[in-house]
Amino acid sequence: MKFKYIPSLYLQVLAITASAAPDGNAAEIRASGDTAIPDPHQSGTRDGCSVYYCVLSGDTCAAIASKFGITINEFISWNPDVGLQCANLWAGYNVCVRL
């Protein structure tokens, strides 16, 4: 098999790993490179996150922030659609937990 070099074509290699969250219950997704936000997610989730967390039933914004060592203000600013009172935090959706 022959390969032809095409100067205008390039390949970006992305590294994506999944692991248990610190509590061992839910998946945590880490992405490096220019990746899309994992689905499902709410429309206001910030681009450019390096770690996403899949919300579990019973999670709260404060609990997630504490679990990942961030402030509640950071969490809400990165995931504004959850609302200031965290009334729109949806189980099964990915949220940004680290830039």
Amino acid 29: pLDDT: 55
| CA 63 – CA 67 distance, rounded (Å) | 6
Amino acid 45: pLDDT: 86
31-59 confidence digits (pLDDT tens): 545 467 788 988 888 888 889 999 999 99
Beta strands in 1-99 (DSSP E): 15-20, 27-32, 51-54, 94-98
| Mean pLDDT, rounded, for 22-36 | 53
Q: How do strand 94-98 and strand 51-54 relate by DSSP bridges?
A: antiparallel
Q: Tokens 């997704």: give the residue.
A: 29
In order of their start, the domains of the chain are 52-99 (3.10.350.10)
DSSP, collapsed to helix, strand or coil, labels residue 58 as coil
